[in-house]
Copies of this chain bind each other. A is one copy, B any other.
């Protein structure tokens, strides 16, 4: 009998062409579906809470999938961890309500963006940090982050110029903190537009390095023009930390 499952998945995005399946390329969804198809003995459709870009990591991506298997949740998890590449780990498998849908039911997401601001080089976590050759001013970035927090039209922070649906989003909180030689940005919001977190980080860093005044982010928001915002920060610093349901 077919049942619905909720999977919590961590992956090292540096090894994949993003989440979404693509013919002939290693993607996280593709790898999951490949292994689950064998377990299920038939095609499966793994639905992710969202799509991460190539190079972006996840500590707790959530996916839903319908499977027709006798195996327990623990057995499904063990099977996945055995046959998936080492760069993907299934942290949890749970039976879910029949109508549970990882994307439609997601209420919020937490992303973390990590920059390395030390004087040497990061040796042991190079694929997981973005190396800066300057030290951005935290106070300036925090002032800008405050102005970006809340419900706004984030059209200027969306990579897709042909986005037809609403580009209004609510970002509940943006926190910025430094621990030794690592600078962490945490974003929590209901949902995010394409590349939105990376463009927000790219913009905050422009403020942090003194190119723009913190208040300038209000003009960017008001413009709705992607060209007004900062560059898209590189994918390696970004990690999906949590999905709320």
Contact = CB atoms under 8 A, between A and B. Distances in A.
Interface of A: 10-12, 57, 77, 81, 86-91, 120-126, 128
Given A10-B120, A124-B125, 17 more contacts: A12-B123, A12-B124, A12-B126, A57-B124, A77-B120, A81-B120, A81-B121, A86-B121, A86-B123, A86-B126, A87-B123, A87-B126, A89-B120, A89-B121, A89-B123, A91-B120, A125-B125
A38 to B, nearest CB: 18
Protomer copies: 2
A124 to B, nearest CB: 6
Identify the interface centre among A81, A86, A120, A122: most chain B CB within 10 Å of its CB.
Answer: A120
A234 to B, nearest CB: 14
**Majority SS at the chain A contact face:** mixed
9 contacts: A10-B120, A10-B124, A12-B124, A57-B124, A86-B121, A88-B123, A89-B120, A90-B120, A125-B125
A143 B124 CA distance: 32
Nearest to A84: B121
A77 B118 CA distance: 13
A240 to B, nearest CB: 13
Contacts of A91: 120
A122 B126 CA distance: 16
Identify the interface centre among A11, A12, A121, A123: most chain B CB within 10 Å of its CB.
Answer: A123
A56 to B, nearest CB: 13
Contacts of A128: 124
Contacts of A120: 10, 77, 81, 89-91
Contacts of A121: 81, 86, 89
A128 B57 CA distance: 18
Nearest to A8: B120
Contacts of A12: 123-124, 126
A210 to B, nearest CB: 23
A231 to B, nearest CB: 22
